[in-house]
Amino acid sequence: MLSRTESIALIGTDAHLIQVEVHVATGLPRFMIVGLPAASVREAEQRTRSALLSAGEQWPVARIVANLAPGALRKEGTHFDLPIALGVLAADERIEPALLDDWISIGELALDGSVRPVRGALAAAIECRKAGRRGLICPARNAPEAKLVTGIEVVPVASIGECIGFLKGSWTPSPVPPIESFKVDSAPDMRDVRGHPGAKRALEIAAAGGHNVLMVGPPGVGKTMLASRLPGILPSMSQDESLEATRVYSVAGLLAERPALLTERPFRVPHHHISPAGLVGGGSGVARPGEISLAHLGVLFLDELALYRKDVLETLRAPLEEGVVRIARSGGVVTYPCRFSLIAAMNPCPCGYFGDAQRACRCSDIQLTAYWSKLSGPLLDRFDMQVTMARLNKGELLRAPEGEDSPTVRRRVGAARGVQYERYSSPLVTNASTKAGELARRLGLTESARRMVADAIEPLRLTGRGVDRTMRVARTIADLEGAEVVDEERIAEALSLRISSVGSEAAA
């Protein structure tokens, strides 16, 4: 007999509907899975057989074929166990095949019949609603994240026995508990930082418009201290942004053991020994999201930028420009979102004291050239702002901290983001990420400001990208000030934040 049920295949952060057809017929006992299955899917035979036997069900002594359609789409992951097991039961007439209609199911089966959590439950629930299905049958530990999607039923099951009981009407699932939010430690206050008004201003602009910032300065000047306070001024995420970011974490498998909704923007700090696959995604087998995708709609902080391998840094160029990363595999190309602000910090030279007023630099010209050669021109050009941070004098170090606290700055940043949401009719788009044509139509650049930009192109050696990034920063400055137009004053500030004098001298 033939039965049909449905599951999903994960391609990037999107779930695609999969028809699971199971045919049980007379013949030599054999179990086959077809439809371009990966090794993890082919191993489902042993797991489903043992799970059904443990649940008190008999395994058909027959020829069993499970087809995962469409066949051109590669199927990976252990979440096909549950739908295949249900298909076997329906094809062997142990449950009514009609009971599987209108349900999508996912779940990995343990040998004792329990259902283990899988990655991508949130994406599966989104596809379930999109396809107009009644609901999703999923592992109990995945149910809270799936329940974030409204308009569908979510059935949490802890074992294959419970799943069978639900379909037959002899077991009723417990209500799905509400999902928790990720607990984020309170970020230290921006007011604690003495001095460095220029760097503070750059981080505020970056938080408001989603821009990239490079901070250059000697050791101990406060670069990492400032960056650690950035989460405290980032605006809260909207509901759409929370679901978008949480979906990436779900696909990465980070919610299987501890389901939680991201309500605060991600702040990722990878170590400088990270590999290209760890940073942009990939790895052997199933391509997983990297740090840049886990920082989606948040911040990626690279401390001691020059210590990262050059090939690792160069992989950032296309994602920074496009907002997505494409990972090629033999079965196709996987795409993950990665719209993030890149905040980086580095010393001006290997010893750290190039340009320092109190300590002499010990680096040779060759060492300086080799140090800065790790950062290509195209990569540096993708930093909207480059800030030089000088050592504080003893008076500044001993003076009581002054300036605005983080909540005050955060309110101003949130107001500027709100202006951008209305301007671009999307909470997922900022001044830094909007398309160039859209920005040009809504820039509000005065004629005198346009002339100022034109006059600065040759002296500052601005590229086309440099001009575009300057315009975006100036627009964010205007949004922070509640201004409709971008005038000379705002363009002048954006230009002053574009070039790092220490970095330029050292690189030269």
Which tokens in the block code for residue 207? 């938080």
Give the global pTM.
0.87
SS (H, E, C) 348-397: CCCCCCCCCCCCCCCCCHHHHHHHHHCCCHHHHHCCCEEEECCCCCHHHH
Q: Which domains does the chain have, with CATH numbers?
A: 2-178 (3.30.230.10), 190-507 (3.40.50.300)
What is the full per-residue pLDDT of the chain (508 aa) written as tens digits?
Answer: 899 999 999 988 889 999 999 999 888 889 999 998 988 899 998 999 999 999 999 888 899 999 999 988 888 889 999 999 999 999 999 999 999 999 999 999 999 999 999 999 999 999 999 999 999 999 999 999 999 899 999 999 999 999 999 999 999 999 988 777 665 566 788 888 888 889 999 999 999 999 999 999 999 888 999 999 999 999 988 888 999 999 999 998 888 767 778 888 999 999 999 999 999 998 766 678 999 999 999 999 999 999 999 999 999 999 999 999 998 876 678 889 999 999 999 999 999 889 888 888 999 999 999 999 889 999 999 999 999 998 887 777 777 777 888 999 999 999 999 999 999 988 889 999 999 889 999 899 999 999 999 999 999 899 999 999 999 999 999 999 999 999 999 999 999 998 765 455 554 5
- Which string of DSSP letters, residue by residue, matches 38-61? -HHHHTHHHHHHHHHHHTTPPPPS
Distances (CA, A) of 45 to 49, 52, 78, 81, 285: 6, 11, 11, 8, 20
| d(C-alpha 127, C-alpha 247), whole Å | 12
Provide the strand spans (E) within 411-507. none
The number of CA neighbours under 13 Å toward the Cβ of 153 is 14
- Which string of DSSP letters, residue by residue, matches 141-198? GGHHHHTTSTTSEEEEESBHHHHHHHHHTS--PPPPPPPEEP--PPPPPGGGS-S-HH
- Helices 464-480, 406-424: axis angle to 10 degrees equals 110
Residues whose CB is less than 8 angstroms from the CB of residue 124 and which lie 6 or more positions away in sequence, other chains included? 8, 15, 79, 104, 106, 136, 138, 146
- 20, β-bridge pairs: 5, 68
CA angle 130, 42, 66 (to 5 degrees): 65
Task: For strands 30-34 and 63-69, give the pairing.
Answer: parallel
